[in-house]
Structure 1
Amino acid sequence: MLAVTGGKGGCGKTTTALGLARTLARRGHDPLVLDADCDMPDLHHLAGIKRTDGVDALARGAPLSRVCQRPPSFPGVAVVTAGRPARTGPALRATHDWEGPVLVDCPAGIGPDASRPLRQADATAVVSTDHPQCLDDTRRTVTAARQLDAPPVGVLLRTVTGRAAEVGGRVAGSPVLATLPDTDDPFDAPPLAQAWSTVADHLLGPDNSTDDTEAVDRRRSHTTDTASRIDRDQRQRRARAPREVSSKRVATTRDQQRSDGGDRRAATNQSRERRG
């Protein structure tokens, strides 16, 4: 689970989460994006879908396959729309069985609502602008993510002031993975597409089609091995069963013979006593 977060609202978190998810889908993955920004939800707007009670329904136990929506503009991407803050934790736990990558569009900052998804995430991607104040907030967010055991994989820096080059290659010790140009076409602009690809490479490797095939093969091999072991155990149990039954019959026969012998001896003794 990757938490996509940032120090301030409007830095590009939602665009990053959705753009990265589309890149992963094009590589053959099945990404799920969950909107955890309950106060300022925007994922459904960008995805072009209706806002339903996605998070709330998921927290109540509704099947994930029924709760998520598939935006036509983002083929291969599944989306869960925002709900109430208190429902976010249970909803995130309900995504643990999802087969593909899970990306969480988090609230900005380091408050309780922002910390909740970070506590469940495996890693964090931090989005920031090159504005000095936003960078200060980003540094605090990077530190908070480390403290919550959701280590930042890196920072995505959106250029709004033209000072991105002054930031350097790291923010609070976290590498700058890509620089995002400020554009009116946030998903199809070639520089942004390249940025999403760079982040995907950093997260999952440059070409995951072979890796996915190998993973499937390993799962199939494990399943086959498990089935073979179960079948072998069943055959062994069946093979042992006649011997066990036979042993029980022998033991029963011996017990019966002992009992019969004892009865005959008792009868003989009684007969001798009567004659005496």
Structure 2
Amino acid sequence: MLAIAGGKGGCGKTTTALGLAVALNGPTVVVDADADMPNLHAMADVPRDPPSGPDPDPDSDRDSDRLGHRHPDHDDVTVRPAPTGASGSGRRAGDRTAARLDRIREAAPSEGAVLVDCPAGAGPDAAAPVRVADGVLLVASACAPSLRDAVKTGATARSLGTPVVGAVLTRSRLAPSGVESLLGCPLLGVVPPVDPPVLDAARVGSAYRDVAADLQHRKELL
């Protein structure tokens, strides 16, 4: 299980999670862990509600297949929207997220990857998926505030005992000098700026395939 994380909202976490899910070989589950500002379902063009309808009890989420949607254009990708009726932050929300991700990990195909689109910020709800994951991929744009927030996210991951496996820069043509040293991890890819829909652009798809090829060698993180 790989957490796609970055401290600043709008830095490209959801785009990266879905872009990598499409680029990886084999079955992939991509999960929205942001109950307050979910948008994975919208980007993937699937319903927010699970296939069987609303689930009023987030803790009853037991069936990965029943509650997941196949990506409309990629049969190997299963999209898990954030549960309905589960908004909120704090320790309780974080514990609920962690339990949900543990169940998804257990239900996922043994040969498949699980990618988690993490909430922004540094609260318990944002830390929970990082704590549960086997590794963290930092996402940031090339601007100073986004990079600073990514540094904080990386520090949080390491304090929780979760390794930072690398970083992706979004909406950038070149990597700033010293970015790997700043983030304390290898830079796995630079995603160019394009007009929406971003994931339809060939250059963006190529960038995520390069990142996926690097990650594919480390299946224990996925």
TM-score of the aligned structures, taking structure 1 as reference length: 0.68
Secondary structure in 1 matching 2:168? strand
Change (3 A) 1:55 1:158: farther
1:88 corresponds to 2:97: yes
Checking the alignment, whether the CA contact within 8 Å between 2:62 and 2:103 is kept in structure 1 is no
**Which residue of the partner structure matches residue 62 of structure 2?**
62
Other structure's SS at 1:75 match: strand
**3-state SS, counterpart of residue 9 of structure 1:** coil
The offset of 1:55, in angstroms, is: 8.2
Following superposition, the deviation at residue 150 of structure 1 comes to: 1.8
Q: Which of 43, 47, 58 is matched with 2:44 structurally?
A: 47
Question: What is the CA deviation profile of residues 230-259 of structure 1, one whole-angstrom value per residue up to 9, with x for unaligned ones?
Answer: xxxxxxxxxxxxxxxxxxxxxxxxxxxxxx
The total of aligned residue pairs comes to: 203
Tell me which amino acid in the other structure corresponds to 1:39: D
Match of 2:34 among 29, 37, 56: 37
Q: Give yes or no for contact 2:171–2:194 (8 Å, CA) kept in 1.
A: no
Structural mapping, 1:106-117, within 5 Å: 106-117=118-129
Question: Once the 2 structures are TM-superposed, how far is the Cα of residue 140 of structure 1 from its aligned partner?
Answer: 0.7
Match of 1:109, SS state, is: coil
1:165 aligns with 2:162: no
Cα-to-partner distance string for 1:142-197 (whole Å, 9 max, x where unaligned)? 1111111221111101235x773334444321111111111124213232222212
Supply the distance in 2 between the matched residues of 1:57 and 1:176 (Cα, whole angstroms). 39
For 1:38, the aligned partner's letter is: A
Aligned partner of 1:81: which letter?
Answer: P
The aligned residue for residue 23 of structure 1 is 23
TM superposition shift of 1:41: 0.5
After superposition, give the CA deviation of every residue in 1:64-85 in whole Å (9 maximum; x if it has no partner): 1111111213331101111225
Distance of 2:55 and 2:5 partners within structure 1? 18
> How has the CA–CA distance of structure 1 residues 55 and 69 changed in structure 2, closer, same or farther, with 3 Å as cutoff?
same
For 2:70, give the aligned amino acid.
R
Is there any run of 5+ residues in structure 2 with no aligned partner, and where? none
User: Secondary structure in 2 aligned to 1:171?
Assistant: helix
Match of 1:177 among 188, 210, 216: 188
Please say which structure displays the higher CA radius of gyration: 1
User: Which one is further off, 93-102 or 166-175?
Assistant: 166-175
Q: Tell me, what secondary structure is at the counterpart of 1:102?
A: strand
More strand by share: 2
Deviations along 1:209-238, one digit per CA (max 9) or x if unpaired, are xxxxxxxxxxxxxxxxxxxxxxxxxxxxxx
Q: Provide the rounded CA distance (Å) in 2 between the counterparts of 1:82 and 1:31.
A: 17
Q: Is the 8 A contact 1:7 1:110 kept in 2?
A: yes
TM-score between the two structures when normalised by the length of structure 2 = 0.83
Residue from 91, 101, 104 that aligns with 2:113: 101
What's the counterpart of residue 7 of structure 2? 7
Moved more, 171-180 or 38-47: 171-180
CA shift for structure 1 position 57: 5.9
Question: Once the two structures are superposed, what CA deviation does each residue of 1:39-77 show, in whole Å capped at 9, x if it has no partner?
Answer: 110001001011116887663143111111112133311
Alpha carbon RMSD of aligned pairs, Å? Answer: 2.2
The alignment status of 1:77 with 2:77, answered yes or no, reads: yes
CA contact (8 A) 2:198 2:204 kept: yes
Structure 2 contact 191–208 (Cα < 8 Å) conserved: no
CA distance in 1, matches of 2:186, 2:34: 25
Give the structure, 1 or 2, with the largest relative contact order (CA under 8 Å, sep 6 or more). 2
